[in-house]
């Protein structure tokens, strides 16, 4: 029987956003949680060591495309909600190998939807009414904004410009179709660029941090004037918790940090913080390490989120400004160099050479 003390099932809970959501859940809610993660290159169970031995926490290594596994987990754990975070999420990787993105983001979401739909049909109506499926997506589905354009709103048309964005747009549309066709109890969130501790160092901020500390060139795509709306990851976790509790079935909520920054300015701010935190570094000023490289294919010029609906209907607003969040982020990476060295394995170094070696 589904109750408020029934577990939730989180997919991708060992990833960057997923691990923060799991930790946030046990801090603020504390009911049982099942974490399903394939543990690909960006999944890291060390992120969850602090809760690994809790009796109300269960980790399952597995693939969201495995229908037999999903069916078994639903029957065994009887979750009251699914928070679907599992995804391939790096644009550059999608340009090199789009197949993995279609498999995980599209086929995997389809598998979850169908398994959950058939399982819900076996439950009494009252229990079905309590269940929620929270699908976590990205602002990149909306495409690119011009400098004077209004920020993305939930009703904007999808115009994805990368294989990653297209795969997430497809998954969003699958969820919408299941809501409309089957009355499936889903909610969708589309977030802006996340940053913070525990982020795999392929993304901009941890990549720049790691290379700057080592005195390596800091690659800036194109002219560096691509604008992103930065969202501190713990603010995102709290937004997902609010969406799960208060979100309306069939609705989409844009989650943003109200922090638009050009990539070039972001890297300069990061370098200034490194100059402050590492006064004896032989690489000061770290901004001298910036190197402009060939822009990536289909690089979106500007993202910006209008998060008014989330504020109004979910009672949520980010706590961190970009200045406070970036300071916390830089400090964490400097204090946790062993974590960075551990995750930047040989496979990571091979990827860096593939993506940046000829730029």
Determine the average pLDDT of the residues in 340-353: 64
The Cα 11–Cα 170 span in angstroms is: 18
Determine the average pLDDT of the residues in 86-93: 88
Q: Is residue 350 part of a domain?
A: no
Are the beta carbons of 332 and 199 closer than 8 angstroms?
no
259, burial (CB in 10 Å: exposed 0-12, middle 13-18, buried 19+) = buried
Q: 155-167 pLDDT, tens per residue?
A: 999 999 999 999 9
Q: Is residue 276 part of a domain?
A: no
Residue from 24, 92, 142, 164 carrying the catalytic annotation: 164
Judged against a pLDDT cut of 90, whether residue 351 lies above it is answered with no
Determine the average pLDDT of the residues in 314-318: 97
Q: Sheet of 193-195: strands edge to edge? A: 193-195, 227-232, 260-262
Is 164 an active-site residue?
Answer: yes
Residue 168: C-alpha distances to residues 36, 88, 194, 272, 324 (Å):
19, 9, 16, 35, 30
Are the beta carbons of 39 and 64 closer than 8 angstroms?
no
Q: Is residue 264 part of a domain?
A: no
What is the DSSP-derived secondary structure letter of residue 142? G
Q: Is residue 202 part of a domain?
A: no
Percent with pLDDT over 90 in the chain:
85
Give the CATH number for residue 311.
3.40.50.720
Assigned token pair, 108: 């995997």
Is 210 an active-site residue?
Answer: no
Is the whole model's pTM more than 0.85, yes or no?
A: yes
Q: 190-220 pLDDT, tens per residue?
A: 999 999 999 988 889 999 999 999 999 999 9
Residue from 92, 140, 172, 210 carrying the catalytic annotation: 140
- Position 350 scores a pLDDT of 58
pLDDT band at 90 (very low <50, low <70, confident <90, very high): confident
Are the beta carbons of 83 and 15 closer than 8 angstroms?
no
Q: Is residue 227 part of a domain?
A: no
Q: Is residue 121 part of a domain?
A: yes
What is the DSSP-derived secondary structure letter of residue 290? E
Q: Is residue 141 part of a domain?
A: yes
Judged against a pLDDT cut of 70, whether residue 358 lies above it is answered with no
b/e per residue 262-281 (b: at least 16 CB within 10 A): ebbebbbbbbebbbeebeee
The Cα 199–Cα 57 span in angstroms is: 22
Show the domain range for 54. Answer: 8-195+232-258+299-318
Residue from 37, 88, 92, 139 carrying the catalytic annotation: 139
- Position 352 scores a pLDDT of 45
The Cα 274–Cα 283 span in angstroms is: 10
Q: Chain-wide mean pLDDT for the chain? A: 93
Instruction: Label the pairing between strands 218-221 and 290-293.
Output: parallel
pLDDT band at 357 (very low <50, low <70, confident <90, very high): low
Q: Is residue 174 part of a domain?
A: yes
Q: 20-38 pLDDT, tens per residue?
A: 999 999 999 999 999 999 9
With a CB cutoff of 8 Å and minimum separation 6, the contacts of 353 are none
Q: 45-85 pLDDT, tens per residue?
A: 989 999 999 999 999 999 999 999 999 999 999 999 999 99
Largest CA distance in the chain: 66
- Adjacent-strand bridge partners of 231: 194
With a CB cutoff of 8 Å and minimum separation 6, the contacts of 68 are none
Determine the average pLDDT of the residues in 181-193: 98
179, burial (CB in 10 Å: exposed 0-12, middle 13-18, buried 19+) = buried
Determine the average pLDDT of the residues in 281-287: 97
Judged against a pLDDT cut of 90, whether residue 91 lies above it is answered with no
User: How many separate domains does the chain show?
Assistant: 1
């Amino acid at each position: 029987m589904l109750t408020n003390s029934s577990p939730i099932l989180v997919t991708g809970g060992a990833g960057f956003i997923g691990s923060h959501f799991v930790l946030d859940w046990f801090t603020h809610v504390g009911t049982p949680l099942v974490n399903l993660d394939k543990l690909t290159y960006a999944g890291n169970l060390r992120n969850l060591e602090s809760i690994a031995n809790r009796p109300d926490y269960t980790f399952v290594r597995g693939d969201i495309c495995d229908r037999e596994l999903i069916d078994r987990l639903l029957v065994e754990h009887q979750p009251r909600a699914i928070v679907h975070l599992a995804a391939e999420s790096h644009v550059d990787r999608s340009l090199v190998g789009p197949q993995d993105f279609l498999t995980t983001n599209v086929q995997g979401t389809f598998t979850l939807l169908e398994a959950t739909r058939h399982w819900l049909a076996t439950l009494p109506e009252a229990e079905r009414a309590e269940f929620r499926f929270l699908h976590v997506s990205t602002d990149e589905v909306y495409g690119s904004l011009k400098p004077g354009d209004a920020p993305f709103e939930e009703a904007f048309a999808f115009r994805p410009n990368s294989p990653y964005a297209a795969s997430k747009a497809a998954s969003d549309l699958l969820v919408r179709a299941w809501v409309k066709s089957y009355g499936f109890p889903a909610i969708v969130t589309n977030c802006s660029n996340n940053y913070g501790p525990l982020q795999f160092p392929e993304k901009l901020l941890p990549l720049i941090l790691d290379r700057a500390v080592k005195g390596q060139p800091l690659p800036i795509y194109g002219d560096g004037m691509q604008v992103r709306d930065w969202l501190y990851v713990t603010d995102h976790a709290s937004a997902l918790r609010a969406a799960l509790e208060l979100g309306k079935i069939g609705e989409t909520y844009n989650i943003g940090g109200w922090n638009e920054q050009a990539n070039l300015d972001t890297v300069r701010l990061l370098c200034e913080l490194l100059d402050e935190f590492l006064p004896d570094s032989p690489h000061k000023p770290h901004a001298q390490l910036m190197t402009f490289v060939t822009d990536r294919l289909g690089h979106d010029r500007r993202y910006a989120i209008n998060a008014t609906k989330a504020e109004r209907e979910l009672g949520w607003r980010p706590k961190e400004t970009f200045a406070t969040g970036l300071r916390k982020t830089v400090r964490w990476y400097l204090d946790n160099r062993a974590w960075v060295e551990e995750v930047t394995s040989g496979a990571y170094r091979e990827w860096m050479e593939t993506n940046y070696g000829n730029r």
